[in-house]
Each structure stands twice: as C-alpha cells, then as structure tokens.
Amino acid sequence: MRSSLIAVTAVLLCLGGVAGASAQAAAPAQTPPPIVLPTLPPNTPNSQVIKTAVGIGKVLLQRQRIFDANHASGRVTYFKHYDLQVQTGANQYRNVRLHHGTVINPRGGTPSIGQVVDVYGAGQPDGSLSADTITIRQ
C-alpha cells in the first residue's frame, strides 16, 4: 500500500512540474519592432536626379516584361504540325502555336527536337505564344 502511495505521489509531483514548465513556456512572445526602410531625406541635393533614375529603371523593367511576354528562346522539346514547345530554362517551358504565315529562318527550315530557337510573336492570355517568326540557331 505504501509503495503505491509513494508511486502515485511521485507521478503527481512530476506532472505538476511539467505543467508548471509548460505554463512558463506558454508566455506570449514579444513582437519585434517594425523594420524601418531607408528613405531619401526631403532636402537631398540630388533627389531629382535619383527620382529620374528610378523612373527610367521602372520604364526599362516594363519594356523588358513586355518583351519577355512576346519572346521565347531555348531548346525545342516538342514539335508537331502547328504546336511547338520550347524549354526556356530549368523546368520552364513555353508553348508556341504556329499559324499560316509564320516565318521560319533560315527560310523553309523545320524546327526539330533539340535545336535552339528564338521565337517572336504575340503573347496569349494563357501564357502561350502565337509565333510570327522562328529563327533556328543550331
């Protein structure tokens, strides 16, 4: 009888210690202060020059985004009739749709699997490209 009483008391003391430890661990964490991003002071002598440079950078990025939407360059992974697929990067593919009037350079060439091509055309809402010109580089 005494040994079971001692065992039950020991278990209760252990559980009380664990409960106390978890109560201490459950204290709310302090939120870190917000990160203050650097800004340009209002009276900087070259602030207009810097603002102009940032504006030019934005325009260049917009033009590059438009160019990328209308261009694909890479290795041909699939070609059949009017469908072409180009691997543009590691695990990145672009579907290309040819149409009557698509120019393939060198004139009259036929893209085949493994060739490197440049495709120019019109980007479609589904991410594919309607090809106007295909240039075979290899």
| pLDDT the model gives residue 54 | 82
pTM over 0.75: no
Half-sphere exposure (CA, 13 Å, Cβ side) for 60? 6
For 91-123, the pLDDT digits (tens) are 989 999 999 999 999 988 899 999 999 999 998
Query: Could you give the domains of the chain?
Result: 71-136 (2.40.50.140)
| pLDDT the model gives residue 55 | 83
| pLDDT the model gives residue 102 | 92
| pLDDT the model gives residue 21 | 47
| pLDDT the model gives residue 2 | 59
Residue 10 exposed, middle or buried by CB count within 10 Å (0-12, 13-18, 19+): exposed
Find, among 110, 70, 115, 114, the residue nearest to 94 by Cα. 70
| pLDDT the model gives residue 22 | 47
Residues of the chain with pLDDT under 50: 18-23
